[in-house]
Amino acid sequence: MLIDSGERYPWTFPNSPTLRRKLAVGDYALLRDGHLSAVIERKSYDNLLSDIGAIQALHHTLADLASVPRAALVVEAQYGDFVDPVRLAGRWPASHVGRVLAELAALHPRLPIVFAGNRKLANGWAAAYFEAADRADAAAATPQLTLVSEAAPPSYDPTSRPVGRDDEIRREALRLAAIGPFPVVELARLFPDVARTRVNRILGHLEEEGLLIHSGVRRGVRWSRR
C-alpha cells in the first residue's frame, strides 16, 4: 500500500505493509508487480466543498484518476449532506452543489464516486476495495483461481474487464527498461494510436513513483530502471 506523503491523518491498513511517498495521482494506491493496480482519491466533506470553488482543477484531478484501470473517489460524508441547506450554512446553494455532483458523475463515467458516510466507513470501504483489486490481479495471473464463488452467480467474472491502455503502456515501459535504456520513440512506436504527450505523462508518473529515471536532454533522453 502506498500513501501519499501529503496525507496528514491517513487511513490505516493493518493487514498491509505501507509506504509514504508522493503519488502522481490519488491519495492511496495498491502497488503490485511494479505498477499501480488501484488508486483512491479521498475527500472529506469540507475538502469536496472547497474543490467546488476550483471546479476545473477538480475535473483535471478526476481525469487523471480515471486513467488508472481501477480507481475511485471516496467521500467521507453522505450525499444528503451536500444538498442540505442547513448543513451547507450558506457556503453554496444546495441546488448548485447537487448540479456539480451530477456533473462530476456524468463527465467521469468510468470513475466510481462513493459517498461512504464518514471517515471510518470510508477507510473500511477502501481496505475492502484494495483487497478485491489484489485478488483480481492474482486471479489474472493464475486463471484457475475462483473469486467469491460462494456469493456470485457462475457467470460473474470480476477479472473480465480489459486492462486499461495506460496500464499497458506502463508495463511495456518497465519491460523495455529491464532490457536497457530506451528512447521515448521506441515505446511510442508500440502504441501508434496513443498521443506522444500521453506516453510522456505516463513515463513521468513512473519516474515520480521511483520506478524509472531519465538521462540526457531533448531527443537524446533515455529511460532506464532507477
* Lowest model confidence (mean pLDDT) among 14-28, 84-98, 143-157, 204-218: 143-157
| Class for the domain spanning 165-225 | mainly alpha
- Average pLDDT over the chain, rounded to whole? 86
pLDDT the model gives residue 31: 87
Highest averaged pLDDT of the listed ranges 116-120, 199-203, 209-213: 116-120
Q: What mean pLDDT is predicted for residues 185-202?
A: 87
Q: How many CB atoms lie within 10 A of CB 69?
A: 22
Q: Find out whether 84 and 45 touch, Cβ atoms under 8 Å.
A: no
pTM: 0.62
Dmax over Cα atoms in the chain, in whole Å?
A: 60
Q: What is the pLDDT of residues 35-82, one digit of tens each?
A: 888 999 999 999 999 999 899 999 999 999 988 889 999 999 999 999
**Please, what is the angle between helix 94-107 and helix 45-52, to 10°?**
90
Whether 168 has a pLDDT exceeding 90, the answer reads no
CATH 1.10.10.10 intervals, the chain: 165-225
86 grid coordinates: 442547513
Q: Does the domain at residues 2-138 carry the CATH identifier 3.40.50.10130? A: yes
What residue ranges of the chain are covered by domains with CATH 3.40.50.10130? 2-138
